[in-house]
Amino acid sequence: MNATEPPPQFVISGENIILVGLMGAGKTSVGKALARILGKTFVDSDQEIERATGVRIPHIFEIEGEAGFRARESKMLVELAQLRNIVLATGGGAVLAKANRDLLAASGTVIYLHAPVRSLVKRTRRDRNRPLLQVPDPAAKLTVLYEQRDPLYREVAHLIVDTGDQSVRVLAGQIEAKLHELTTPAAPTTT
């Protein structure tokens, strides 16, 4: 290749994109939009757990507790890691187990959708399908979860994206551009 030829375009294909972050960060909505843009299949691990068990996640928490749910989540992540060409939205606590973090990091490009607690509180305030937030002070609970999980999300992430106040479409487009930056080979230097 000589210096006047453009570098070859790298097409993202077959590579899994895995979204991590706290509840309300936008993993499902951004994941769906990103999957459309990249021509991948969207998969939500929480929805897959509900499909496999036939019950909603709050019911699993009620019957089996958080430990029971986490065991189901880990098992489901092992299954989903076998898939290819997907955008996977994980549950907010998927990173709690070291084995899950290792699995996710080895299964694709992990993107941490980061949002400040005040945004998460605003986005989740009316959602009754989040068992960990069914407490007298959801903002305090989200603060504790953020402090516990933020370092774990950062540990596993190949890319960190602040969700801010952008629309889902704009955010998905920004992520696509960042992915291409990560995967496009640098032009060779000539001497």
Contact of 104 with 94, CB cutoff 8 Å: yes
Between CA 95 and CA 101, with CA 97 as vertex, the angle to 5 degrees is: 50
Those residues whose C-beta lies under 8 Å from the C-beta of residue 56, and which sit 6 or more positions away, are: 50, 129
What's the Cα-to-Cα distance from 78 to each of 73, 116, 118, rounded to whole Å? Answer: 9, 29, 33
pLDDT, greater one: 129 or 19: 19
- Tens digits of per-residue pLDDT, 139-187? 888 889 899 999 999 999 999 999 877 888 988 989 998 888 876 655 5
Average pLDDT, integer, range 13-25: 84
Contact of 147 with 139, CB cutoff 8 Å: no
Mean pLDDT, the chain, integer: 84
The neighbouring-strand residues paired with 112 are 20, 160
Residues of the chain with pLDDT > 90, as a percent, come to 59
pTM of the model: 0.84
Average pLDDT, integer, range 35-44: 95
- Tens digits of per-residue pLDDT, 59-95? 998 999 999 999 999 999 999 999 999 999 999 999 9
Which CATH code, of 3.40.47.10, 3.40.50.450, 3.30.360.10, 3.40.50.300, is assigned to 17-181?
3.40.50.300
pLDDT level of residue 24 (50, 70, 90 thresholds):
confident
pLDDT level of residue 101 (50, 70, 90 thresholds):
very high
Per-residue pLDDT at 11 exceeds 60: no
Instruction: Report the C-alpha gap between 56 and 174 in whole angstroms.
Output: 32
**What is the model's pLDDT at position 8?**
33
Return the top range by mean pLDDT from 45-59, 133-147, 176-190: 45-59
Domain ranges for the chain: 17-181
